[in-house]
Amino acid sequence: MWEYSADGDSLKAACNNPEHKEEADGAQSFTATLVKPTEKIYTGSAIKAAVTGATEAEFHEGYSVTYKCGGDSVDEPINAGSYQAILTATDGGASVTVDFEIEPAPLTITGATVTKKTYDGDNTATITEFTFAGYKKDEDNTKEAISVKEYTAAFVSPNAGTSVKVTITSVKLGGTAAGNYAFDPMSEDNAEITGEIEKATANVSITAPQNAKYNDEEQRVEVTISVVGGKTSLGKDDYIIFYQGAVETNKTPLNADTYTVTVALIPSKAGNYTLTGDRTTFTIDKATTTVVWADTDGGVYGSAIKTPTASAAGVGSDELTLKVEIDETSPTKGAFKNAGGYIFVASVVGDLAQNYILQNATSNLVTISKADPAEYADAKYKVENVSDHAAHADAPCMYRIKNERRARYAAELIAVLMSGLKIERAERAAEDYYLPYEQTEPLIERGLIKVVTLTPRAPTADDEPQS
């Protein structure tokens, strides 16, 4: 008979029956080794251990290789798991075993349906369907065989975009074949998954000044922004308010003008929101102020004449100008100095011009009376009254210069007149009007001397004799 003994993963056989020895042609012993399979990854087919060192025919009554998985007997080692292979001689009690693993086959993601989301400041991604590659059997490629029970996925950025990359960091499979497959999120064979994050809608509410009038202070709007859905919020540090007046220079709401107000988000926020109600207009009306006139008595020609002055609340003296308009009933010429009637008109100049409406902007008639020649009748100047002559209506006093003394008096009269008109005498440098002598030829060349050539005519018989 044959005796069998286990030695590690080898089964040793020895024949102790002389009759059988003769039948075996002298083969009295052999060693059969049980070798674990070289394939270690699930293929969808059985992965079996091998027997080396002896054929089944060398065993007296053959041998068997059986399998267990997790302590339970199985027909074939097909599915992924921990296995034990057992080699047993049919006619002997000894057996040897080897342990081996069938590892899950890797699945790679070829596609995924990512649910479009509205920006909420979070990068969590929702996937409704996965597609995989790497199935070993056609029947494994069913939702009953393979399904996704749990997963972790996130957009690489929480910001809005149309093709934002999605990273899948873990997948837990379910289904009848789930144990035979594994997903490696780090595999380079995984397809790139993208999804869309659409902008959130933010409603802008702008409260503008009502019935605003110019007051030399900026008049700004109040802004509040509410995000639809309320998952994020926007505060004062997240937006900028732009003002633009109809007048190009008005970029702050200070001067009287109609302003367009635009609310814009700062760059780090702008890409994630769509604003509604982000523009409005409002008007700052001109302020009304009343002109107060002073020194409107005028005066007498030739004496001290006061020029009218004007003031208005809110307007500085250097920002209020007066323009002279001559009264048509008493026409005069020149500035406010000759006898006649004058009307002054006040107006605002500079940047303030657009901010005020002036009331009482026109003065009453201001009159400069003609000088009375009678005042000078007994004076040494001997002034003549010529007011009855229309040609001298604007200058009724005449002083005749007949000698050097009267020339001196005329200079005194001019000085008195200029003083009354508050005109200061300017210093003038002496000028030499003497022309240096020049030769005739240069003067001819410059056309200052014209040379005329005359040819004498020969006498004729008709000429009268010269006496």
Distance in angstroms (rounded) separating the CA atoms of residues 172 and 179: 10
Other C-beta atoms within 10 Å of 406: how many?
A: 16
pLDDT at position 201: 96
Domain range summary for the chain, segments of one domain joined by +: 2-102, 105-198, 201-284, 288-369, 373-420
Distance of CA 436 to the CA centre of its chain: 75
> Is residue 123 within 8 Å of residue 154, measured between CB atoms?
yes
Q: Is 34 helix (H, G, I), strand (E, B) or coil?
A: strand
pLDDT at position 253: 94
Distance in angstroms (rounded) separating the CA atoms of residues 53 and 224: 87
Other C-beta atoms within 10 Å of 367: how many?
A: 17
Edge-to-edge strands, sheet with 147-155? 117-118, 193-198, 161-174, 147-155
Distance in angstroms (rounded) separating the CA atoms of residues 50 and 38: 10
Pairing of strands 384-385, 397-398: antiparallel
Distance in angstroms (rounded) separating the CA atoms of residues 67 and 82: 10
Q: What is the residue-level pLDDT of the chain in tens, covering all 467 positions? A: 678 888 999 989 888 766 654 554 446 788 999 999 998 999 999 999 999 998 888 887 889 999 999 889 999 999 999 999 999 988 777 899 999 999 999 999 999 999 999 999 999 999 999 999 999 999 999 989 999 999 999 999 999 999 999 999 999 999 999 999 999 988 999 999 999 999 999 999 999 999 999 999 999 999 999 999 989 999 999 999 999 999 888 899 999 999 999 999 999 999 999 999 999 999 999 999 999 999 888 888 767 788 889 999 989 888 888 888 776 655 555 577 777 788 889 999 988 889 999 999 998 888 888 776 666 556 666 777 776 776 666 666 777 888 888 888 788 777 777 766 667 777 777 777 777 888 888 888 888 888 888 877 777 766 666 55
Pair of tokens at residue 129: 């369907």
> Is residue 257 within 8 Å of residue 284, measured between CB atoms?
yes
DSSP one-letter string for 184-209: -TT-TTSPPEEEEEEPEEEEEEEE--
pLDDT at position 16: 74
Predicted TM-score (pTM) of this structure: 0.64
Instruction: For residue 164, give every residue at least 6 positions away whose Cβ sits within 8 Å of its Cβ, in sequence order, or none.
Output: 155, 156, 157, 194, 195, 196, 197
Pair of tokens at residue 208: 């503008």
Distance in angstroms (rounded) separating the CA atoms of residues 112 and 193: 7
Distance in angstroms (rounded) separating the CA atoms of residues 84 and 70: 9
Pair of tokens at residue 54: 């002896």
**Residue 60 amino acid letter:** H
DSSP code at position 22: H
Q: Is 165 helix (H, G, I), strand (E, B) or coil?
A: strand
pLDDT at position 176: 93
C-alpha neighbours within 13 Å on the C-beta side of residue 203:
5
What would the CATH number be for the domain defined by 201-284? 3.10.430
DSSP one-letter string for 283-324: EEEPEEEEEEEE----EETTS--PPPEEEETTB-GGGEEEEE
pLDDT at position 94: 86
